[in-house]
Amino acid sequence: MNLLSGQALCFSCDAQPILDGVDITLAGGEMLGLIGPNGAGKSTLLRLLAGAITADKGMLTLEGRPISTFTPRERARRIAYLPQMSEIAWPMSVERLVALGRIPHLEAWQHPGPYDTEIIERIITETDLLPYRDRPFNTLSGGEQARAVLARAMVSEPDILLADEPVSALDPAHQLDVMTLLSKHCEAGHSVIVVLHDLNLAAHFCKRLKLLYRGRTLAEGDANQVLTPQNLEKAYAIEMNLSVGPSPAPFRLPWRRLNN
Amino acid sequence: MITAMTQHRLLFTLGGLIVLTALLSLLIGSQAIPLMDALHESFVGEAGIYGLILTELRIPRTLVALLAGATLGLCGAVMQSLLRNPLASPGLVGSASGAALGAVITLYFGLATLFTYALPLGGIIGALLATLTVYLLAGRDAGTLTLILAGVAVNAFTLALVSLLLNLAPSPYAVQEIALWMLGSLANISRNELWILLPGTLAGWMMIGRQGRSLDLLTFGEETASSMGAELPRLRRRLFLAVALAVGSAISVTGAIGFIGLVVPHLLRPLVGYQPSRLLVPSAMGGGLLLLLADIGVRLLPAQGEIKVGVVTALIGAPFFLWLIIQDKRSGL
């Protein structure tokens, strides 16, 4: 049985369809890469799966149970959502901000226990935030901020982590770190849906890719099935330079914009 | 930036200051009273003038200052966290101006002279109605900005109605009565006012009590907060009602008292590491302390009659707030 499953999901904004009947499945331990051009509906799909917005039509189930039968807190313990842009209201320290990610597991007056502290400590280390733990969030660089909000999403130990472009602000080394971190999360039996713009990173880390285009699924499968010249031409209107040189995996370089 | 204190030390410090200030408040007034004699008269011996002053005037006045100030500080912290905006004040959702309008209506139509509770009741009803209007105007799923705009609009309209009533007031005496009430004062507080203040205040505080964690979640923005388990429409309804009840009760008894709800949370926020849930209790304590200090201040000021405490909080609060903003700008936050 699929961990998460959505059928014919639709969402419109001002009568403008953004998602137009998207099916999605996610198995336990799987990392699904969500790709597609700007405005394809990737972020909307993720917000919908996270419960930040509600679908106009369609059916969404978590472990076979309709998502609406979960309380918001139950859902929050299972599914964590990392938005593309994080607007943090107050200049809180990194450590405190990350610790707030444990709230779905705490009762109203309950203080974080030793187990909570241990996880917070581990995630702060894994996201390479130890030197910045006492720094106010707003004084961090863009990449450090991106890792801090990722850490916030990860400390809730979600079964499903929905990450919207978690690496777009990161340098190459930290991009690899974060993708490795997400892979490890999957190896531990959890699942990840990650929105990526870097097709090579997507092909490298995600066994399965889903290409969205104009609110619908254009292609789904492994990198070789999805990242075909035809699909990329249709979705992005670009020509790709596919190289199968001495490197262990083929890589794709956006080469030329097609005018049509 | 001020260095971070632990939460406990902050609470103990504020608590200690409150106890000291409250004792001071019992001693200071137009009539000097020997505290021991007064206590003896109040609780052990026969009733005398000192005992009466203490139990009928000084204790109620001190408690009302603490409770009303605490409500303003607490509700300021709640509104700032809920709207993710450090400039939000407890009156933003219409509670303060609504309370003023309700109270002024009872003064205008002479209801206040008919029975004791008319004025505060009018104030509480006004606060609830104004807040309800803001809520309905903004709509069920309103975002922060819509709520702020609806609040500004309702406040402007409510205060225009207050001006209209002042304009149409039948006699100069009524104008003076309304104007003086609007300045905000704790001078004529007796036990009655304390009983009027208590129910709405306690109900409001209790409704706020368990919502700290949801306010913490709002740090991340509304969508992320929802994804982390916050139920925002319910949270908003609850907190609006709580603020309307508590602030409405406070303003109805004391008149308009500005800047405490704005300044106190702002001042304490760095000391609690900017975390909304940790700001609530210290803001309540700080608000109570500040209003009580201001009230002691007006009792000590040599003036004909007494300067209204609402005037003092605004006179000190506004420049102080400006100073805070300049400090914040310097530290780059």
Quote the minimal CA–CA distance from B229 to chain A in Å.
4
Report residue B120 as tokens: 């505060």
**Residue A86: its chain B contacts at CB < 8 A?**
220-221, 224
Domain layout of chain B by residue ranges: 7-330
Q: Considering only the beta carbons, identify the residue of A76, A90, A91 that sits closest to B227.
A: A76
Q: How many domains does chain A have?
A: 1
Quote the minimal CA–CA distance from B327 to chain A in Å.
15
Q: Considering only the beta carbons, identify the residue of B216, B227, B332 that sits closest to A81.
A: B227
Contact B216 A103 (CB under 8 A): yes
The whole-number pLDDT of residue A179 equals 95
pLDDT, chain B, mean: 87
Q: What is the rounded distance in angstroms from the CA atom of residue A86 to the CA atom of residue B220? A: 7
Check: CB of residue B233 under 8 Å from CB of residue A58: no
Check: CB of residue B309 under 8 Å from CB of residue B186: yes
Contacts of B329 (CB under 8 A, 6+ apart): none
Mutate to test the interface with B, among A48, A77, A81, A90 (most CBs of B within 10 A): A90
Q: Considering only the beta carbons, identify the residue of A51, A97, A138 that sits closest to B226.
A: A51
Contact B275 A90 (CB under 8 A): yes
The whole-number pLDDT of residue B108 equals 85
- The range of the structural domain enclosing residue A30 comes to 4-257
CA distances to A43, A140, A196, A210, A217 from A31, rounded to whole Å, are 17, 29, 12, 11, 17
CA distances to A159, A177, A201, A243, B239 from A249, rounded to whole Å, are 29, 19, 11, 9, 56
| Gyration radius (Cα) of chain A, Å | 19
Contacts of A222 (CB under 8 A, 6+ apart): A207, A208, A209
Q: Considering only the beta carbons, identify the residue of A76, A86, A149 that sits closest to B229.
A: A76
**Residue B231: its chain A contacts at CB < 8 A?**
72
Length of chain A: 260
- Residue segments in chain A with a per-residue pLDDT below the cut of 70: 1, 245-248, 260
In the predicted structure, residue B332 carries a pLDDT above the cut 60? no
In the predicted structure, residue B169 carries a pLDDT above the cut 70? yes
Helix (H/G/I), strand (E/B), else coil: B275:
coil
The whole-number pLDDT of residue B41 equals 72
Report residue B3 as tokens: 């260095």
Half-sphere exposure of B30 (CA within 13 A, CB side): 8
Quote the minimal CA–CA distance from A251 to chain B in Å.
34
Q: What is the rounded distance in angstroms from the CA atom of residue B33 to the CA atom of residue B27? A: 6
User: How many CB pairs (< 8 A) connect A and B?
Assistant: 87
**Residue B217: its chain A contacts at CB < 8 A?**
100, 103
The separation between the first and the last C-alpha atoms of chain B, rounded to the nearest angstrom, is: 10
A165-176: per-residue pLDDT in tens?
Answer: 999 989 999 999
Chain A residue whose CA is closest to B213 = A108
Contact A138 B229 (CB under 8 A): no
Contact A96 B273 (CB under 8 A): yes
Quote the minimal CA–CA distance from B234 to chain A in Å.
12
CATH number at residue A102: 3.40.50.300
The whole-number pLDDT of residue B3 equals 42
Contact B213 A106 (CB under 8 A): yes
- What share of chain B has pLDDT > 90, as a percent? 46
**Residue A148: its chain B contacts at CB < 8 A?**
none
Check: CB of residue A214 under 8 Å from CB of residue A234: no
Check: CB of residue B196 under 8 Å from CB of residue B63: no
A2-46: per-residue pLDDT in tens?
Answer: 899 999 999 998 888 999 999 999 999 999 999 999 999 999 999
Residues from A contacting B (CB-CB < 8 Å) are 47, 50-53, 71-73, 75-77, 79-81, 83, 86-93, 96-97, 100-101, 103-104, 106, 108-109, 136, 138-139, 149, 152, 156
Phi, psi (deg, nearest 5) at residue B195: -65, -35
Name the CATH topology of B7-330.
ABC transporter involved in vitamin B12 uptake, BtuC (1.10.3470)
Q: What is the DSSP string of B36-86?
A: HHHHHHHHTS---HHHHIIIIIIHHHHHHHHHHHHHHHHHHHHHHHHTT-T
The whole-number pLDDT of residue B5 equals 54
Q: Any long-range contacts for B321-325 (C-beta under 8 Å, 24+ apart)? A: B321/B259, B321/B262, B321/B263, B321/B266, B324/B263, B324/B266, B324/B267
